[in-house]
Amino acid sequence: MACEQWRSQLDAYLDGELPSEAMRSLDAHLRGCLACAADALARVQFKRSIKNAGMRFAPSAELRSKIQKSIAPPARRNWNIGWKLGTATLGLALVVGAVTSYLGRENIREQQLYSELTDLHVATLASPNPVDVVSSDRHTVKPWFQGKVPFTFNLPELQNTDFTLLGGRVAYLGQTSGAHLIFQVRQHEISVFIFPEPAGTWNFRNESKVERKQTFNVEEWNQDGLRYTVFGDASPEDIQKLSALLKAVAGS
Amino acid sequence: MPLFDQLYNFAHWLAQDRDEAEDLVQETFAKALRGFSSFQQGTNFRAWMYRILRNTFLNSRTGRKAMMTVPLEHDEDGPVAVAVDTQTPEAILIDRSDQHLLQAALDELPVNFREILLLCEVEEMSYQEIAETLGVPIGTVMSRLSRARRALRGLVRGKLQGTQKG
């Protein structure tokens, strides 16, 4: 192929919009062709300059508080949930948007799920009242969920382990309610999400091993019609240990 | 309020005026809240928000005026291969001190070029997202983006030459 033709694909290539095969061919060409590589470099620099120049205007603090007040939820529950969902989706869209152009289309759904879980995890830990039922006693936490989520689940005995149960809250994912439990191991907090399967239309995978998602460590599996997701910044070993404890009691 | 800072930046670029940008953002959030039920779960929320902001702008007096100066792009929907940018960009090295030059060039661009460059480079939207935001086919996104880049390079080049002469 002539350089002219390669160059006609450069912009789409740098925008991350070429199909992966074309991407690889162009990669190979750029490694061998100094002129095209220089062209690509110039375009990258131009892209970066536009990005820097484009981040130009910052909103005033007055505008922020004005809008915050105008969208403050009146004391109506539905409204409140609607906006919370909206905020979660906004956050989700943000994270997803940033990575969209660099991911294969087939990964998008999965990424959306993890983005939403990341939001739930981070937003919960950032809150002054992270849990609605504050107890390290599994016999207190489990019954609290009765009537709040459409299923029941077992919690492990944590004596003689490094883990402590901090409490739980009801979480929403894909318009389904589920349990969000917070465990602590040393200085790390780990979220455990339990949702009926399938929650929404998410395309879950079935193998269970600790993976890195959105810079967090995650292990997830299906058991007894429920989807378990163990999620946090703790080490993969800790995530795995907690997952094993949960798996052991889930079937009992 | 996620997206708030980005939406404001985008609004200010569109309206080129602080007061108008503030009104735009405020109206966007109000409309989004009112119309939240019309948002379809599973579709792109960010594109939806930007679309509300952009439509609000286009309906404003400034927006209507800005669109009148947009050149006709009758061949936009032609084959993509014709439209992609094969023009070789001689390295336009813009360091931090030249940022205002690039900003001035962006300000001078027709609004449809300015917005697509911002969505692509600053918001890092995918072509699909841009297409949803602007309500145009992906082929149009590609060709318009390529024209916008070419136009911006032309403006920057002109300005660089101007400063060298001056």
CATH 3.30.200.100 fits A130-250, yes or no: yes
Cα separation, A52 vs B134, in Å, equals 23
Decide: B122 and A54 in contact? Cβ < 8 Å. yes
What is the structure's pLDDT at B128? 94
* Predicted TM-score (pTM) of this structure: 0.56
What is the structure's pLDDT at B106? 95
The verdict on a CB contact (< 8 Å) between A90 and B118 is: no
Which residues of chain A have a CB within 8 Å of the CB of B91?
38, 41-42, 45
Among B7, B29, B88, pick the best mutation site for testing chain A contact (most A Cβ within 10 A).
Answer: B88
Structure tokens at B117: 């460059």
Structure tokens at A237: 């070993």
Which residues of chain A have a CB within 8 Å of the CB of B106?
50, 53-54
Q: How long, in residues, is chain B?
A: 166
In angstroms, the separation between the Cα of residue A72 and the nearest Cα of chain B is 10
Cα separation, B30 vs A37, in Å, equals 47
Domain ranges of chain B: 1-68, 75-166
The verdict on a CB contact (< 8 Å) between B2 and A4 is: no
- Chain B residue nearest residue A2, CA to CA: B86
Decide: B109 and B138 in contact? Cβ < 8 Å. no
CATH topology for the B1-68 domain: Rna Polymerase Sigma Factor; Chain: A (1.10.1740)
Give the architecture (CATH level 2) of B75-166. Answer: Orthogonal Bundle (1.10)
Cα separation, A82 vs B52, in Å, equals 18
Q: Which SS3 state, helix, strand or coil, does residue B126 take?
A: coil
Structure tokens at B114: 């300015």
Cα separation, A17 vs A215, in Å, equals 24
Question: Order of strands, edge to edge, in the sheet holding A163-173?
Answer: A133-134, A163-173, A176-185, A188-196, A226-232, A216-223, A211-213
Q: pLDDT tens, B63-74? A: 888 888 777 665
Contacts by A41-46 with C-beta closer than 8 Å and gap 24+? A41/B91, A42/B89, A42/B90, A42/B91, A42/B92, A43/A10, A43/A11, A43/A14, A43/B89, A44/A14, A45/B91, A45/B92, A45/B93, A45/B94, A46/B89, A46/B92, A46/B94, A46/B149, A46/B153
Q: Would the pLDDT of B97 be above 70?
A: no
Lowest mean per-residue pLDDT among A35-39, A100-104, B78-82: B78-82
**Mean pLDDT value across chain A:** 81
Structure tokens at A191: 């979220």
ipTM: 0.88
Cα separation, A141 vs A139, in Å, equals 6
The verdict on a CB contact (< 8 Å) between A54 and B2 is: no
What is the structure's pLDDT at B73? 64
In angstroms, the Cα distances linking A190 to A72, A117, A132 are: 30, 12, 16
Instruction: Tell me which DSSP letter residue B120 carries.
Output: I
Q: pLDDT tens, B46-65? A: 999 999 999 999 999 888 88
Residues of chain A with CATH 3.30.200.100: 130-250
Q: How many CA atoms lie within 13 A of B48 on its CB side?
A: 20
